């Protein structure tokens, strides 16, 4: 088996066009995925780039001797680490390490009922000369032979390298980083937000750029997969090519997405903190079901969708689904600089107000009996925020929080799926932030496949009302295809809703840098995703000053000018 992917296999440089040919061919032919050496680009790589790309690298190969043998299953005749490695859930002393054994990833995994021991090790150096911890974890069919290792006892603010082994086969090497010590002074936290990676709509070029960033952590804010069949003009056909409903379907769809080398490299380069949105289950679902689905069958579907989500994400065991429930709202702290409350705006919401689409200002939006977060999560959130001692209080969540009216059919309408459909919950949240004097509220959002900067007011209908915080909405990685820089819709939205400070419809991600005195957001976009090799550039940057809600006064006028020039 080792001969198939020994060091000699990537000793010869491969030109980028050849790499792309092989890459796209591999998407067509699952069998090529079993030869991961073929997927390595040999662009002029320095050590750092090599390590980042080495989600597909074979850095463990030369060190096989340092790893003990573990039991090898009969079915492991092919390379089992086809879906790469990942880490997540960074704590000051711990991290989750993830992989899944799947020699035939697009055929359900390729393993039968065996329980397979997977050896793992984590080191302070990429050569694994200083292994700080190691152990074994059992991969079972119950979790599609995925492995979630919860490593504890690590040092804060430290880089680590990790890998897995089963039989004689060693996985790719991943790099990760722990959080700073609780309450410690932190000069800077650099992170990215990403969301919405429809595999059939575009390439994951954004991740090729992201791995070159020097990030402490990546936040993925939902729509990791899409549940539908691929459309007639799909760039890459979905597998299975139908709307997925069963556990087997969801597993194959995740495997297909995670087979993408760019996504694999991004997972191997940084720890990720993930939350799901709607498409991990079904478009626009909420609570017990989407408004147009059969309730009983939907709940069954939701339970298998949650199961597959857990299996493929670097989550803690506290997120293992129990029936139709999965706990994904949780808190992360990075020293005394930033606290992230990750929200679940799907599972506990009451059914849509009005018809569930863009609607006129119907009374149900303001019904205090309706909820976006559910009572338990809402109380948890307000308590987190009121007790936080961190400079930046950040929410990571799925759907737009800012009020956005849109002129349709001669009247102003609001999206029932966003926080506009749950305005009573939003009003309560804004009031509690004001009453508890919560510092520096920043909301990070996915979902819309567009870049937005929105200021959040106590009363969004009153322009004199106090600004409570700022929402940065990141665009999609690939969903909705190429997108565009200029949009008449953007201009119209900004005229109707003056709290929108920026709007753009291209693909990419947002890099944020939090410091004690300011938080900066750089919106990075690409001109296309339906062809390979798109360049990336920062289309606009925004700054929030510590202690001043909303965009920095020195930045606001410029921001508005930039944004209006773009629409």
Nearer to Fe ion, 133 or 283 (CB): 283
The structure tokens 């569930």 sit at 356
At its nearest, how many Å lie between Fe ion and the CB of residue 448? 8
In whole angstroms, the minimum distance from the beta carbon of 247 to Fe ion comes to 22
- Nearest of 468, 466, 440, 453 to residue 521 by alpha carbon: 453
Closer of 284 and 552 to Fe ion (Cβ) = 284
When the beta carbons of 73 and 526 are compared against Fe ion, the nearer one is 526
Shortest Å distance, C-beta 226 to Fe ion: 7
Burial annotation 158-196 (CB, 10 A radius, 16+ → b, else e): bebbbbbbbbebbbbbbbbbbbbbeeeebeebebbbbbb
Q: What is the CA radius of gyration of the chain?
A: 23
Tell me how far, at minimum, the Cβ of 521 lies from Fe ion, in Å.
20
Q: Which is nearer to Fe ion, 76 or 196 (CB)?
A: 196
Per CB under 5 A, residues contacting Fe ion are: 196, 223, 479
* Closer of 97 and 401 to Fe ion (Cβ): 401
CB 397 within 8 A of CB 389: no
Residues 6+ apart with CB under 8 A from 528: 482, 507, 534
- Rounded to a whole number of angstroms, the minimum distance from the CB of residue 330 to Fe ion is 22
Euclidean distance between CA atoms 467 and 544, whole angstroms: 12
Query: Closest approach of Cβ 228 to Fe ion, in Å?
Result: 11
- With respect to Fe ion, which residue has the nearer C-beta, 172 or 479? 479
Distance of closest approach, residue 268 Cβ to Fe ion, in angstroms: 24
- Share in percent of the chain as helix, strand, coil (round to 5): 25, 25, 45
Residue 536 C-alpha from the chain's centroid: 19
Those residues whose C-beta lies under 8 Å from the C-beta of residue 372, and which sit 6 or more positions away, are 345, 348, 349, 378, 419, 421, 422, 425, 426
- How many helices and strands, by DSSP H and E, does the chain display? 10, 24
* Distance set, CA 188 to CA 89, 319, 515, 521 (Å): 19, 29, 5, 13
Q: Which one-letter DSSP state was computed for residue 459?
A: S
The CB-of-276 to Fe ion minimum distance in angstroms stands at: 11
Between 479 and 497, CB nearer to Fe ion: 479
3-state secondary structure of 511: strand
Taking the complex as a whole, the smallest distance from the CB of residue 479 to Fe ion amounts, in Å, to 5
**Which residue number, 128 or 224, has a Cβ lying nearer to Fe ion?**
224
Identify which of residues 216 and 420 has a Cβ nearer to Fe ion in the complex: 420
Classify the C-alpha dihedral 46-48-54-58 as positive or negative: positive
Torsion of CA 59, 64, 70, 74, to 10 degrees: 80
User: Residues 305, 280: contact at Cβ < 8 Å?
Assistant: yes
């Amino acid at each position: 088996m080792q001969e198939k992917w020994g060091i000699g296999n990537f000793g010869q440089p491969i030109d980028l066009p050849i790499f792309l040919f092989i890459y796209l061919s591999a998407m067509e032919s699952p069998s090529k995925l079993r030869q991961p050496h073929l997927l390595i680009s040999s662009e002029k790589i320095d050590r750092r780039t090599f390590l980042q790309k080495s989600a597909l690298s074979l850095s463990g190969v030369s060190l096989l001797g340092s790893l003990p043998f573990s039991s090898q299953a009969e079915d492991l005749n092919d390379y089992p680490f086809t879906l790469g490695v990942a880490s997540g859930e960074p704590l000051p002393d711990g991290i989750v390490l993830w992989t899944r054994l799947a020699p035939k990833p697009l055929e359900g995994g390729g393993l039968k009922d065996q329980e397979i021991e997977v050896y793992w090790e984590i080191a302070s150096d990429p050569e694994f000369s200083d292994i700080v911890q190691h152990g074994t974890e059992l991969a079972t069919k119950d979790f599609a032979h995925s492995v979630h290792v919860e490593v504890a006892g690590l040092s804060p603010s430290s880089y680590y390298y990790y890998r897995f082994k089963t039989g004689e086969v060693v996985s790719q090497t991943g790099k990760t980083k722990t959080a700073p010590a609780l309450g410690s002074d932190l000069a800077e936290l650099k992170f990215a937000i990403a969301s919405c990676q429809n595999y059939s709509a575009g390439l994951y070029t954004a991740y090729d750029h992201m791995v070159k960033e020097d990030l402490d952590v990546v936040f993925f804010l939902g729509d990791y997969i899409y549940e539908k069949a691929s459309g007639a003009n799909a760039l890459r056909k979905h597998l299975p090519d139908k709307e997925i409903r069963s556990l087997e379907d969801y597993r194959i769809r995740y495997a297909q997405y995670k087979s993408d080398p760019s996504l694999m490299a991004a997972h191997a380069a940084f720890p990720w903190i993930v939350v799901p949105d709607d498409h991990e289950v079904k478009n626009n679902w909420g609570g017990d079901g989407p408004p147009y689905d059969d309730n009983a069958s939907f709940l069954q579907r939701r339970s298998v969708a949650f199961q597959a989500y857990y299996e493929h994400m670097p989550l803690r065991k506290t997120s293992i689904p129990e029936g139709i429930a999965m706990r994904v709202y949780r808190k992360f702290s990075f020293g005394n600089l930033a606290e992230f409350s990750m929200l679940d705006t799907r599972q506990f919401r009451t059914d849509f107000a009005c018809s569930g689409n863009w609607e006129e200002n119907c009374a149900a939006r303001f019904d205090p009996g309706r909820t976006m977060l559910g009572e338990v999560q809402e109380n948890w959130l307000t308590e987190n925020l009121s007790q936080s001692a961190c400079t930046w209080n950040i929410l990571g969540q799925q759907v737009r929080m800012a009020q956005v009216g849109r002129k349709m059919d001669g009247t102003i309408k609001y999206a029932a799926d966003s926080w506009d459909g749950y305005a009573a919950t939003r009003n309560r949240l804004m009031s509690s932030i004001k009453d508890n004097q919560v510092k520096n509220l920043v909301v990070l959002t996915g979902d819309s496949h567009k870049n937005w900067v929105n200021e959040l007011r106590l009363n969004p209908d009153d322009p004199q009302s106090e600004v409570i915080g700022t929402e940065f909405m990141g665009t999609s990685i690939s969903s909705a295809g190429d997108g565009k820089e200029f949009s008449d819709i953007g201009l119209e939205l900004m005229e109707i809703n003056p709290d929108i400070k920026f709007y753009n419809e291209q693909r990419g991600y947002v890099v944020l840098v939090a410091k004690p005195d300011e938080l900066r957001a750089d919106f990075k976009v690409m001109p296309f995703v339906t062809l390979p090799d798109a360049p990336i550039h920062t289309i606009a940057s925004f700054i929030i000053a510590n202690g001043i809600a909303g965009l920095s006064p020195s930045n606001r006028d410029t921001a508005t000018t930039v944004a209006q020039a773009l629409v």
